Amino acid sequence: MIILCNPGNPTGRIYSAEELQELAQILETNPHLLLLADEAYADIVFDGLPFLSALQLSSVADQVILSSTFSKTYAMTGWRLGYVVAAPDLAATINLVHRSINGAINTFVQDAGMEALKIEETELEASARSYQARRDIVVECLTGVPGVSMLPPQGAFYAFPRIHSTLSSDAMTTRFAEAGVIVRSGSEFGPSGEGHIRISFATDVESLEEGLRRFVDVVRSLT
Ligand SMILES: Cc1ncc(COP(=O)(O)O)c(C=O)c1O
């Protein structure tokens, strides 16, 4: 099984249509291979970039499992409301495990989900624009800071800068926490995340600006 997180957490990167078509070709030549696409951030895409869902790979539709959630689009993190789109035989197997382990979601969260689905598309777009404005603040604050290199996030609400320091990501995270800014260690996301720090910008502008000010102060002392 290939697992794809698109838009990416923690990188904020978006896979292009060409990359997804290449994945489709790999699936076509390996009919027993499955693609599990986690598209939790599909509605938070910046700069008008095109976003291709794995569900649009029609030639391999039976090999694609889409996993998504109300957590990000509708700011319902912690409500544990999500869904899967898969071919009927796969969906039946997933359902077997799901109903044994999780059971059905409680009814008041189901009601909240029904209300969330009534939200107009224009409101969701406004929400994505507001994340983009905060993404811009992060990019502006970190650009040109010595010891920091970063690709601008294209979606989701994370920045994933590399901090050029002799300290490990874990040790840096402790230093940031001591300065009153909470970030995640890049190595939590796998060995290639070492040297990186994940910043979430899913907060209000004032807190974000203060967090970035503290962040940059710590970076200057580290590099
Ligand atoms: C890529 C991705 N998928 C899923 C989730 C979690 O979704 P849920 O809140 O429905 O468990 C997250 C939350 O951080 C995420 O980043």
pLDDT value of position 169: 98
- Asked if 106 and 163 sit in the same domain, the reply is no
The residue type found at 138 is V
Angle, alpha carbons 91-95-96 (nearest 5°): 120
Question: Looking at ligand 1, which atom is closest to the CA of residue 41?
Answer: 1
Q: Which of 3, 5, 6, 9 to mutate to test the pocket of ligand 1 (most atoms within 8 A of CB)?
A: 9
Ligand 1 neighbourhood includes 77 CB (under 6 angstroms)? yes
Judge whether 164 and 79 are in contact, CB under 8 Å: no
pLDDT value of position 143: 97
How many domains, in total, are found in the chain?
A: 2
Rounded to whole angstroms, the Cα distance separating 172 from 184 reads: 10
Ligand 1 neighbourhood includes 9 CB (under 6 angstroms)? yes
- Asked if 183 and 90 sit in the same domain, the reply is no
DSSP code of 4? E
Question: Looking at ligand 1, which atom is closest to the CA of residue 78?
Answer: 9
- Asked if 92 and 166 sit in the same domain, the reply is no
- Give the DSSP H or E segment for 91: helix 88-101
The strand pairing partners of 36, in sequence order, are: 3, 65
Q: Which of 68, 99, 116 is the last residue of a domain?
A: 116
CATH of the domain at 138: 3.90.1150.10
- pLDDT, one tens digit per residue, over 44-101 is 999 999 999 999 999 999 999 999 999 999 999 999 999 999 999 999 999 999 998 8
Q: How many CA atoms lie within 13 A of 14 on its CB side?
A: 22
Write down the pTM of the prediction.
0.95
Ligand 1 neighbourhood includes 66 CB (under 6 angstroms)? no
Which residues of the chain fall short of a pLDDT of 50?
none
DSSP string, 151-196: PPP-BTTEE--EE--SS-HHHHHHHHHHTT---EEGGGG-GGGTTB
Ligand 1 centroid from CA 131, angstroms: 17
Rounded to whole angstroms, the Cα distance separating 199 from 197 reads: 6
Question: Looking at ligand 1, which atom is closest to the CA of residue 70?
Answer: 10
Mean pLDDT across the chain = 97
Judge whether 213 and 198 are in contact, CB under 8 Å: no
Q: Which of 64, 82, 116 is the last residue of a domain?
A: 116
Nearest CA to ligand 1 atom 5: 40
Ligand 1 centroid from CA 71, angstroms: 7
Ligand 1 centroid from CA 29, angstroms: 30
User: Phi/psi of residue 33, each to 5°?
Assistant: -80, 140
- Asked if 30 and 82 sit in the same domain, the reply is yes
Nearest CA to ligand 1 atom 4: 40
Question: Containing domain of residue 142, as a range?
Answer: 121-222
- Asked if 103 and 127 sit in the same domain, the reply is no
Ligand 1 neighbourhood includes 37 CB (under 6 angstroms)? no
